[in-house]
Structure 1
Amino acid sequence: MNKNKKILIFILAFLHLVAVEFIRGLSGDFGPYFGTGIFSYRPESLIVFVACLIMLGRFFDQAVLKDKGRVIISVCLGILLGFCSVWGQYVLYETTLFDESSKVLTAFFMSGLFSVFTIPLVSEIIGLLNKISGSLYDWSEDSDRKRRPLYFVLISLVTFITYIPLFLYVWPMNFFGDSYDELLAQLIGRRTTHHTVIHGLMLRKFYELGLKMGAPEKGMQLMTLLQMALLALSIGVFMLYVYDRGFSKKVRITLFALCVINPVNGYYAVTAEKGTMGIALALIGMTYLMRFLDALDKDEPAKNKIVSAAVFVIASSLGCLFRNNMVYALFLGGLIIALLRKGAKQKIIVFLTVLLLFGSYTAENNLLIKAEGSITADKYRETLPLPIMCLARVYILHGDEMDPALKETILAYIPENAMGEYVISISDGVKAQANEELFKQDMSTFIKIFIKCGLKYPGDYIDQFAWLTYGYWNPYDAFTMGSTTPYVVKPLPEEFADVKNTDLIPALDGLFGAVYYETGRFRIPLISWFYRCTLYVWSVIFLLVAGLVRKSRRMISLAAVPFFYLVTVFAGPLCQFRYVYFNVLTFPLILLAIAEGYGKARGNAEK
């Protein structure tokens, strides 16, 4: 490496520290990143500087620069990561990025300097993938058909056992978020589609079963055990697929360890979250989708194709009953997969399979609604939280300068009292009072004024979107909206018997509190990253970008469903960790797809 290049690398690494200190300084005296000044009292500044020097030196190596695909992926994702890191700090501490032109220019400049670190970082990840791609498969041994059942049972059993200590800690179940409200609504007979019908039905039935057994917690205990078993079985199904594909023991052990070590899986295994069972079923569905695609690629017997497609449709449609937005991700992702298949015949087969999935879910959901007599009270408000919040923000900030007719139209959809409930980071207060009937009668006018205001005030729309999704894409976030919800115990009204939580292993209170429920879990090295939405969001983006650059049909296909699931989440009412649990549980699958994309798939002729 010549002298000029070394000087350039030193300058770039130093300027990166300027950006780091700048975005830390945005937090002010009370923020978690307080403290400014290059090489101040923080030893990590020197560590970051040295790491940046090393990675830049490796990135500017001729062998790396000749790999155009690696450079393109590194630059695209690195710049995006850099921008999100800086923008995230502006969102959190400055409320807006677009109120001053000087602020915008500064932010983009600092984003570029921050990318000096993130670009070579992504390149290092790709370099690691290139190194391990040759050892993904164990070509010397085929999966023993006789050992398959034992392997599946063993994986599922070990996974289930890992959940038991936490189950005893929260016995019989951790009610958190709106789980309490969901159960209460069922008990008083206020049944709507605001919560998924099937999960509310299960809560009520297991509660009633517990009453018959002498205490409601006995019924909820059975529901938790069922949930734990289903989650463990889904991981067993996925690991069996990994085993059947002939991946090496190192790969299998790594993926299984990720499933078991990740504390988030244990957290949701014992929590009354409506998405847990559905997402476990979705993992089964995704696994059999991969089996189905493999069967099509290898032209396996029709029996294999039919069985894989059937399990995919059944498991996925049932999963969507628990987490409704998943059906849109599966449908849109399925369409992309169909378009990427080779030959008209395969395209039609996959398209019809996806259509069958959508039809099955629709029929099952309608039957449940009819059987339960559930009322669809807020379909449009629940579907449009982001547009509603964008219009509310524009009205609040610019209402005085608006045309009276436009103001009147906005207030018809979002009444004045709803505007008073506006909080930039959560849409619940505003959307709850939006005019559901008017949305139902005249959606076209709402769309027109939404587009009109967006064209005039794009900065406010972007700021609103950023606040509702902040915890998903900002790598710095862990303490605000991106975390899981703590352990919650709520009493029911006096006329209903309480579900009493009992800690059956008090000796481990300190451990479980630290790892699962207290804010200190965000400071545990490595483990804390499992609690960050960004780990799962950026892994999907990485898979998609890598697939596009490498022109890999398989990588894009496996990224399609998780990506469209994120699209539905980003259009949601606020940032909550539980909304991305689908991405948490499928994280090993995404990693497998990334690693496989850099190697040769066994028996797969795709280049």
Structure 2
Amino acid sequence: MKNKKKSWIWIWGLMFLAWIPGLLAAWPGVFVVDNVFQMKWYLEGTISAHHPILHTYLLGGCLKLGKQILGSYEAGVALLAVLQMLFLSFVYAYVLYRLKDRFGKGGSGKIVWWMVLAYFALMPYHSISAVTTTKDTIFAGFFLLVVWKTYEMVKDQKSFFASWKQAVEYVILTFLMCGFRNTGIYIFLFTLPSMLIVCRKYWKRVLALGLSVVVLWGIFTGPVYERLGITKGSSAEMLCVPIQQLSRVMVDAPEELTEKQQAQVEAYIPDYSKYISAVADPAKDTFNVQLFEMDPGRFVKLWIQVGLKCPVVYVEAFLATNEGFWNPFAYYPNPDTYLPYIPYHGADLDQVGISWEHQIFIRQTPVGKGLDWFYEKMTEAGSYNRIPLLSLLYSAATAFWLIVVGIIVCIRKKRYEMAVPFFLLIGLWGTLMLSPVVVFRYGYPLLICLPVVWAMCCNKTDGKL
């Protein structure tokens, strides 16, 4: 560890080896229900922007390669799982390597550093997340890199903006972050004004950097999408909160609405009676997108009118759907939703419930019954809830409140420049609050950024707060 040039390689290798039991337990990887839809689109050549197309092509390419070269789709899943393990362990090793100087060479800072290494290497959900073939796995890695690079930018603005290589690297990483989760561009745009204010001495370069990301994203989602024949995602995905709120009013307080308003809500949300507080999918899946797109303003007007009559129900509906993102003590897996909080077993036919010509399901064959039992209990089965304090480490809400504490610490220390990376974190949390359901993989990027939050708050030399 004393050799700085090689220490990150040792960290990377150690972390990758520590995750191998998770891969063996979930062999060949965790192929979830989203992947079933993505593979259908990939094989039929009708790819939707509902899921990031970079991930759809990566997933499809790996499975196709596994089928053609190695003889099975399972081999393709294993290939992608190993690639994701290499990528995530590399990112964590890189950040840990850079944190070594920040946390200090001795005392409590060194102890914190080793605790972070143990957390990344040994916490069961890291290895299972790494082999879960969803967009969120790769997004988490790029998001952590962007948060770290943003921290380095504001910590030493002169050095960062003196190097065009660092600026190009930042643009590329930010674009890839957006490319693996569609909401990434909104997180970046939310952060950009704070970047212009904090780095106002270099505002022209910041503006050029921001415009570069926006132009790249515009080209990607414009001409590139058109060339590839990408179909746009459903508008319903952006309306989960209004759909939940209107559905709850129809279920809990229909007497507050006029007959005309009830008929309008039913026209937009035919299955409002299937409303479940913890997940938007049952009501959202039959949302009348065509009617909405004919006149979006009419829907917005209805939503406002009903909200003025039933504000308390609206607040209850909002907080009930995203409870796991603001309440660290919320219990998951939630019995009201069909989705596991942390998927360990892949998707099956019953979960999708649709028969397609191009329908792929991956058979998991765990290597080692003991490993299988342990990782299932510590992820999907939720046994961690029975271990004091451990359950808090599984909650994105815990990460959110620690981020809030970090903001308070930085304000008290007058480290206002740290507002920029904090805006990234709060921007991500804001998008989570609009999600259709609380699942671990959505909030995972917040949890892995906590070591960087510590670095943003701690002293320069000894790693103490």
Aligned 8 A contact 1:539 1:591 in 2: no
Contact 1:169 1:503 in 2 (8 A): yes
**Per-residue CA shift, 1:254-276, capped at 9, x if unaligned?**
33223223322211101112111
1:340 pairs with one of 198, 201, 221: 198
Give the aligned residue type for 2:313: D
Q: For the Cα contact (< 8 Å) 2:66–2:73, is it kept in 1?
A: yes
Corresponding residue of 1:437: 290
For residues 16-50 of structure 1, what are the alpha-carbon distances to aligned partners after superposition, in whole Å with 9 as ceiling and x for unaligned?
A: xxxxxxxxxxxxxxxxxxxxxxxxxxxxxxxxxxx
Alpha carbons of structure 1 residues 370 and 158: separation in structure 2 relative to 1, 3 Å: farther
The answer for the alignment partner of 1:331 in structure 2 is: 189
Letter in 1 for 2:94: V
1:315 match: 173
Q: Distance in 1 between matches of 2:294 and 2:175?
A: 30
1:241 corresponding residue in structure 2? 98
1:186 aligns with one of 42, 46, 52:
42
Secondary structure of residue in 2 paired with 1:300: helix
Give the TM-score, by structure 1 length: 0.68
- Equivalent residue for 1:394? 249
Instruction: Name the structure 1 match of 2:404.
Output: 541
Match of 2:272 in 1: 419
1:469 and 1:570 in contact (8 A); partners too: yes
Unaligned runs of 5+ in 2: 335-339, 350-354
Q: Counterpart amino acid of 2:219?
A: A
- What residue is the counterpart of 2:121 in the other structure? 260
Contact 1:265 1:585 in 2 (8 A): no
2:327 to 439, 453, 474: 474
**Judging changes above 3 Å, is the alpha-carbon distance between structure 1 residues 164 and 301 closer, same or farther for their aligned structure 2 residues?**
closer
In 2, are the aligned partners of 1:174 and 1:487 still within 8 Å (CA)?
yes
Structure-1 residue corresponding to 2:345: 487
Is the contact made by 1:335 and 1:351 (CA closer than 8 Å) also made in structure 2?
no
What is the deviation of 1:565?
A: 0.6
Checking the alignment, whether the CA contact within 8 Å between 1:317 and 1:357 is kept in structure 2 is: yes
1:154 maps to what in 2? 10
Following superposition, the deviation at residue 563 of structure 1 comes to 0.7
Contact 1:156/1:235 (8 A) holds in 2: yes
- Show the 5 A alignment for 1:140-289: 147-213=3-69, 214-245=71-102, 247-248=104-105, 249-289=110-150
Match of 1:502 in 2: 365
One-letter amino acid of the structure 2 residue matched with residue 575 of structure 1: V
Deviations 1:45-71 (A, max 9, x none): xxxxxxxxxxxxxxxxxxxxxxxxxxx
- By how many angstroms is 1:448 displaced? 2.6
Structure 1: gaps of 5 or more residues:
1-142, 603-607
Q: Does the CA contact (< 8 Å) of 1:389 and 1:430 recur in 2?
A: yes
SS for the counterpart of 2:378 is helix
Paired with 2:43 and 2:266, the residues of 1 have a C-alpha distance of 35
Q: Distance in 1 between matches of 2:303 and 2:384?
A: 41
Q: Structure 2: how far apart are the matches of 1:329 and 1:295?
A: 23
The amino acid of 1:490's aligned partner reads: D
**Contact 1:175–1:490 under 8 Å retained in 2:** no
CA contact (8 A) 2:136 2:181 kept: yes
Q: Distance in 2 between matches of 1:290 and 1:550?
A: 16
Deviation of 1:463 (Å): 0.5
* Map of 1:79 onto structure 2: none
Quote the Cα distance in structure 1 between the aligned partners of 2:192 and 2:412: 21
1:291 correspondence with 2:152: yes
2:237 pairs with 1:382: yes
Instruction: Quote the offset at 1:580 in angstroms.
Output: 0.6
Query: Equivalent residue for 1:127?
Result: none
Match of 1:357 among 186, 190, 213: 213
In the alignment, is the contact (CA less than 8 A) between 2:236 and 2:287 conserved in 1? Answer: yes
Q: Is the 8 A contact 1:421 1:430 kept in 2?
A: yes
Secondary structure of residue in 2 paired with 1:179: helix
Moved more, 220-229 or 432-441: 432-441
Q: Which moved more, 1:198-207 or 1:517-526?
A: 517-526
- Alpha-carbon spacing, 1:334–1:185, altered in 2? closer, same or farther (3 Å): same
Q: Is contact 2:333-2:382 (8 Å) kept?
A: no
Partner SS state of residue 175, structure 1: coil
How far apart are residue 285 of structure 1 and its match? 2.0
Q: Structure 1 residue 280: deviation in Å?
A: 0.7
Please tell me whether the aligned partners of residues 193 and 377 of structure 1 are also in contact (alpha carbons under 8 angstroms). Answer: yes
Q: How far is 1:318 from its partner?
A: 0.9
5 Å-filtered alignment, 1:23-62, equals none
Aligned partner of 1:449 in structure 2 is: 302
Query: Post-superposition shift, 1:468?
Result: 0.5
Cα 1:495–1:400 change in 2 (3 A) is closer
In the TM superposition, what are the counterparts of 1:60-209 in structure 2 within 5 Å? 147-209=3-65
Q: Provide the secondary structure at the position in 1 that maps to 2:271.
A: helix
Q: CA deviation at 1:548?
A: 4.2
8 Å CA contact 1:381–1:436 kept in 2: the answer is yes
Alpha-carbon displacement from aligned partner over 1:357-412 (angstroms, at most 9, x marks no partner): 2332332344553354221141x211111012212222343434423444444344
Which one-letter code corresponds to 1:403 in the other structure?
Answer: T
Structure 2 residue identity aligned to 1:438: L
Percent of residue pairs identical = 22
CA gap of 1:331–1:163, structure 2 versus 1, over 3 A, is: same
Structure ranking higher on relative contact order (CA contacts 8 Å, 6+ apart): 2
CA–CA distance in structure 2, aligned partners of residues 197 and 469 of structure 1: 26
- Aligned equivalents of 2:207 and 2:461: distance in 1? 24
Task: Output the CA distance in 2 between the equivalents of 1:329 and 1:263.
Answer: 28
Q: 2:417 aligns with which of 540, 543, 554?
A: 554
User: Which residue pairs with 1:69 in the alignment?
Assistant: none
The answer to whether the 8 A contact 1:237-1:287 is kept is no
| 3-state SS of paired residue (1:178) | helix
Give SS of 2:49's match: coil
**Alpha-carbon distance, 1:550 to partner:** 4.8
2:333–2:380 CA contact under 8 A, matched in 1? no
- The answer for the alignment partner of 2:337 in structure 1 is none
Q: Is the 8 A contact 1:543 1:556 kept in 2?
A: no
**Aligned pair in 2 of structure 1 residues 247, 316: CA closer, same or farther (>3 Å)?**
farther
In the TM superposition, residue 516 of structure 1 has moved relative to its aligned partner by 3.3
Q: 1:254 to 1:321 in 2, by over 3 A?
A: same
| Letter matched to residue 317 of structure 2 | Q
Describe the SS at the equivalent of 1:516: coil
CA apart distance, 1:590: 1.9
Larger mean CA deviation between 480-489 and 355-364 belongs to 480-489
CA shift, 1:488, in A, is 2.6
Per-residue deviation, 1:193:
1.6
Give the deviation of 1:301 after TM superposition. 7.3
TM-score normalised by L of structure 2: 0.87
Match of 1:73 in 2: none
Report the 3-state secondary structure (helix = DSSP H, G, I; strand = E; otherwise coil) of the residue aligned with 1:384. Answer: helix
